Structure 1
Amino acid sequence: MHIFKQLALSLTVGLIAISTPAMAEDKVITILTQQDVFNDYQKFIGQRDPLSLTQYGGPASRRDVVELVLVQQALKAGGNELPIKIVKVDNTSDSYNRYIKEITSGSATMGGNSAWLIDLKPLADKVLISEPVIRNGEFEAGLYTTSDNAEARLSRTLPEIQKLTAVVAESWKPDVATLESLKFSILLKTHSWDSMVGMLFKKRADVLLAPFQPTPDMSMDVGGKKLVPIQNVKVGLQGSRHFFVSKVDPMGAQVSKQLNAGLEKLREKGLIDKAYRDAGFFNSATKSWNRLN
């Protein structure tokens, strides 16, 4: 059985509007993203052209969403003139791993969101790995909890935080390793982001790791439910994150070359850093916060 219930073509962007029907049918770069990212991307981009975007903040902006913009801009800057289509996969119990597997099978040309190098290295025979978009040491996250969890929100020191119950998706290797190193009294492992959030609101867990958000209080809205970071503490995740292209796709080598050339140009212009700052991922408000590891 195919690993997904559905791989749905959901949105066309970029140069598709000016391509010929033959080009659109025969040569199209398909960029895969996950269901929740796709939904927020639609809210974020609206009627704007992702290729000309220079302001990456605003409603629904977050790391995954701006990465979907950056990857399109990088391809364009690297010389791509083929049409682009964004495709999504419906929610699954383990969307991150299945998202990666879908690229390795060649069902899409490339991923629209970065993945950890530790997850991509074993797949080097199946994917072409880009230069890092998030370099080693740059990834910092908050410990997020529900707004009514007073015990968690009042925790400040590592011993206080270690008494809390943390939850993580078991396939998120750097997150698991980081939380295990912090020695929580209880660390629960589940299969997906949605499950993690659900466990917080069901009071089965207190905290989860999540990137800082661009909202004034750095809170995030998850399906109408609010999560907030524990104030004045942050966590560093080791490793770098990269885009990746399927070797199975006939255009893979060309796309990978254009992607890396474009990422270099975006890096030189400061647009990669700006996108992550605008999205709240590189967050100046947390610069002086106590890093727990």
Structure 2
Amino acid sequence: MVVAVVCTNNAIKKYTNLPDSAKEVPFVNNKIPPEITTRCVTSLMILKNALVLGGINPQLTFMETPNARREEDELVKGYAAISTHLFNESAIDLAKFNDKIYISDPVLEDGDYEKGIFCLPGNYDVLNAHTIEDLKKAGIPLIGIHWNNDNEALQSMGIKEIAKGPTMESLFRMLKAGRADWVPLGFHNSKDLSVTRAGITLVPVKGIKISLRESRHYIVSKVHPDGEKIFQALQKGIKIMREQGMIKKMLTQGGYHCNATRNWKVLNDKSLLTIE
């Protein structure tokens, strides 16, 4: 069955570059191919594996968009059937689109997705930060224009001045140009936890991280002719994968959970927040 998937250019490129062996689903003996190491590919492969377990043999066709907001727009128009981006519910315009989209069961549970504080390698004001107050003094944070959950997390920490950019690449360029000082990013499985985009490398502040407190979900188009069938298969597959422990394994390998940072301090842990 042809499944029209909407996702960013970065996700398409990384999926296309995977060896054919890493694209095969369902995963044999619950073994995850070692090449699946990034979040965008992980969410796409959870989707693909879930559809197969749910009874659909998907032939993926891709519709490219610049960001997650555009993914939602294409789904509500019925131009694509399903997102690869995992949305938190506050980022979905339910009042406007509830009759046009299905929301899957959670893939990431509340608090599952942790992010590091990333900056340019030479920004020692940020790199030497250990507390929320240190970060406030170190400079201005930067997030994507539709990163509602990140915005809420930073606001809860008492950080009010927040710069925003339209795409992931633009965030890296804005930091390089000095228009902001740090950005919350999911951890990558690189040896030093660094991440590179547009030829610009960012590194995490060691020892601290933040937690995004909402669950995350796939969204499926109710308008697309195959939307209901795809949604039912997806729901069945997600349930099977969770029972098998596959979702947790994939989230860990893909960087949503990071073993190397599991003991780092969560700055926005409710027990640590004393800001009025």
Task: Establish whether residue 80 from structure 1 lines up as the match of residue 56 from structure 2.
Answer: yes
Secondary structure, in 3 states, of the residue corresponding to 2:105? Answer: strand
Let me know the Cα RMSD of the aligned residues.
1.7
- 8 Å CA contact 2:150–2:212 kept in 1: the answer is yes
Task: Establish whether residue 39 from structure 1 lines up as the match of residue 10 from structure 2.
Answer: no
- 8 Å CA contact 1:114–1:242 kept in 2: the answer is yes
Letter in 2 for 1:78: G
Q: Aligned match of 1:97 in 47, 51, 69? A: 69
Q: Could you list the runs of 5+ residues in structure 2 that have no partner in the other structure?
A: 269-276
Q: Aligned match of 1:146 in 120, 134, 142? A: 120
Secondary structure, in 3 states, of the residue corresponding to 1:231? Answer: strand
Task: Establish whether residue 129 from structure 1 lines up as the match of residue 103 from structure 2.
Answer: yes
- 8 Å CA contact 2:81–2:224 kept in 1: the answer is yes
Is the alpha carbon distance of 1:113 and 1:187 closer, same or farther for their aligned partners in structure 2, counting shifts above 3 Å? closer
1:205-220 matches, within 5 Å, as 205-220=180-195
Deviation at 1:280, TM superposition (A): 2.2
- 8 Å CA contact 1:165–1:185 kept in 2: the answer is no
For residues 240-265 of structure 1, the C-alpha deviation after alignment (integer angstroms, 9 at most, x for no partner) is 11011100111211111110001111
Give the Cα–Cα distance (whole angstroms) in 2 for the partners of residues 271 and 56 of structure 1: 12
Deviation at 1:185, TM superposition (A): 6.6
- 8 Å CA contact 1:116–1:241 kept in 2: the answer is yes
Aligned residues, how many? 261
**Which residue number in structure 2 is paired with residue 6 of structure 1?**
none
Runs of 4 or more above 3 Å deviation: none
**Which residue number in structure 2 is paired with residue 224 of structure 1?**
199
Give the Cα–Cα distance (whole angstroms) in 2 for the partners of residues 41 and 154 of structure 1: 36
1:167-178 matches, within 5 Å, as 167-178=142-153
Deviation at 1:171, TM superposition (A): 1.8
**Which residue number in structure 2 is paired with residue 196 of structure 1?**
171
Is the alpha carbon distance of 1:79 and 1:145 closer, same or farther for their aligned partners in structure 2, counting shifts above 3 Å? same
**Which residue number in structure 1 is paired with residue 84 of structure 2?**
112
Deviates more, 1:60-69 or 1:160-169: 60-69
Q: Aligned match of 1:55 in 20, 32, 51? A: 32
Q: TM-score, normalised by structure 2?
A: 0.89
Identity among equivalent pairs (%): 26
Q: Could you list the runs of 5+ residues in structure 1 that have no partner in the other structure?
A: 1-26
- 8 Å CA contact 2:89–2:215 kept in 1: the answer is yes
- 8 Å CA contact 1:143–1:207 kept in 2: the answer is yes
For residues 189-228 of structure 1, the C-alpha deviation after alignment (integer angstroms, 9 at most, x for no partner) is 2322222111111122111111111112211121332111
Deviation at 1:90, TM superposition (A): 4.7
For residues 13-72 of structure 1, the C-alpha deviation after alignment (integer angstroms, 9 at most, x for no partner) is xxxxxxxxxxxxxx62211111111112223x22223314432544x7211211101101
Deviation at 1:181, TM superposition (A): 2.3
